[in-house]
A and B are shown apart, each in its own frame.
Chain A
Amino acid sequence: MNLLTFGKTGWGDELFYATLMTIAVSIAALLIGFLFSIIFTPLKLSDNKFLNFIANSYTTVIRGVPELLVIYLFFFGGSGAIMYVASIFGYFEYIEINAFITGSLAIGIISGAYSTEVFRGAIQSVDKGQFEACKVLGFKKHIYFLKVIMPQMLRLAIPNLSNVWQITLKDTSLISVTGLVEIMRQSYIAAGSTRDPLFFYSIAAVLYLMLTFFSMKLINKLEVKYNKGF
């Protein structure tokens, strides 16, 4: 237990900050994922075959390829791609992208593919009559979406979004391969310097378990809130 004290002799404070980093990356990734789903959900639901095809290829490819591979592609390919763009503008120095940014972008794109599917399903299960009623009443498109469809859609989406959150949270452990110091990386460092991998990886497991447990409690509260009146 001495290993977990705060300060110079223990790993307590390092693990604490690593946990905060995991939470930060997960939230950033989830929000980036939402941005992607705001773009791709309308494309999925549109009548245009070509737009459909683009959105479907995004969700199918991302969900059919290992997360680790996507992260490797971003981490090793990302700085190369940016340097290539920079070289067009006459900048030839080595550019290294921040591990936090590449990591949350990679996980965000993965998370976005899952949340796009969730939002599509939720919008499709909102009663057809609601859409028709809005049209009959002559609401403007953005108003009827925000005020009528969105609240009903969110109620249906929240249980599945909590799954997306869990997947995202667990996927952030893979960013450790890029060197970003989150729970997994910190445990790896601690295990290496104390030669006690069993202890530190078990602590990592406990930390992840606590994160999923408490976030589930929080999401359940949200679910109750959105289910008022049903």
Chain B
Amino acid sequence: MDFELISASLPKLLSAAVVTLKLLSLSLFFGLIIGLLLAILRLNKNPIINKLAYAYSYVFRGTPLLVQIFIIYYGLGQIEYFRSTFLWVVFKEPYWCAIIAFALNTGAYTSEILRSAFETIKPGIIEAGKSLGIPNKIIFYKIQIPVAIRQSLPAYGNEIILMMKGTSLASTVTLMDITGVAKHIVSTTYKPLEVFLMAGAIYLFMTFIIHNLIKYLERKFYY
């Protein structure tokens, strides 16, 4: 064990942890919006809309995240027309490509979690709202969504941890997150054990924090 190297690379890894957290929070934010929209589409009675939303989540859950990032980062730039549109400003940056891939991916998983949460809401709660003459829209926003959030918290907590682990793939498209920085240090010092174990410890610490945060929220929303 080379303790000098450990103390020298710790600050670098910690500043890379900020990049990881930024990637994580942005992709979770967009992923939650995508997931909520898809879950609403999944609950739609129209079979075509329903099937389309299912196909989306099937494709994104059935293929590796690495393939999705590579298609978005390396693949889309190949289309001549695409490069002339305003979207190219976003898609030429590896940072945003990674976030888009992560958001689309976590959106698919989130939609499944939310759909099952909406489906397990007891019909009595909605009927009670209706019998009190509350409009459908308000029942949805004030009753169904809060109950669904509570029910999906444990599964969504797992999804956050999975996504945090997924952000390590950003290092494959040249981004300097914890894994990227760790690999860079290893390639210059040839000391894989110390550096990767420390990077792992930082990830583990983040997992621990997220896990406890979700536990706290679960207790808070308990009813």
Contacts and interface: CB of A to CB of B under 8 A. Distances in A.
B92 interface: no
A67 B66 CA distance: 12
Given A68-B169, A208-B62, 16 more contacts: A61-B204, A66-B165, A68-B168, A69-B168, A69-B196, A72-B179, A72-B192, A76-B196, A77-B193, A80-B193, A170-B65, A173-B64, A177-B172, A198-B74, A205-B59, A208-B67
B196 A208 contact: no
Dominant secondary structure at the B interface: helix
14 contacts: A65-B200, A65-B204, A66-B179, A66-B203, A67-B168, A68-B168, A69-B179, A69-B199, A80-B193, A81-B193, A184-B66, A184-B67, A191-B74, A195-B78
Nearest to B72: A201
A71 to B, nearest CB: 10
Contacts of A208: 62-64, 67
B153 interface: no
B74 A197 contact: yes
Interface string B141-183: 0000000000000000000010011111101100000010011
A69 B203 contact: yes
B29 interface: no
Contact of B71 (A70, A196, A201, A212): A201
A85 to B, nearest CB: 13
B75 A198 contact: yes
Interface of B: 59, 62-68, 70-71, 74-76, 78-79, 161, 164-169, 171-172, 179, 182-183, 186, 192-193, 196-197, 199-200, 203-204, 207-208
A204 interface: yes
A41 B200 CA distance: 24
A204 B200 contact: no
Contacts of B208: 64
B203 A170 contact: no
Contacts of A184: 64, 66-67, 70
A203 to B, nearest CB: 10
A197 B75 contact: yes
Contacts of A177: 172
A44 B87 CA distance: 51
Interface string A149-189: 00000000000000000100011011011000000100110
Interface string A128-150: 00000000000000000000000
Interface in A36-92: 60-61, 63-70, 72-73, 76-77, 80-81
A202 interface: yes
A173 B169 CA distance: 11
A17 interface: no
A76 B65 CA distance: 23
Contacts of B179: 66, 68-69, 72
A222 interface: no
A71 B219 CA distance: 36
Contacts of B161: 63-64
A79 to B, nearest CB: 10
A218 interface: no
B85 to A, nearest CB: 16
Interface in A181-230: 184, 187-188, 191, 195-198, 201-202, 204-205, 208-209, 212-213
Nearest to B210: A64
Q: State the 6 A-B residue pairs at the shortest beta-carbon distance, nearest first.
A: A198-B75, A66-B168, A64-B207, A76-B192, A173-B64, A197-B74
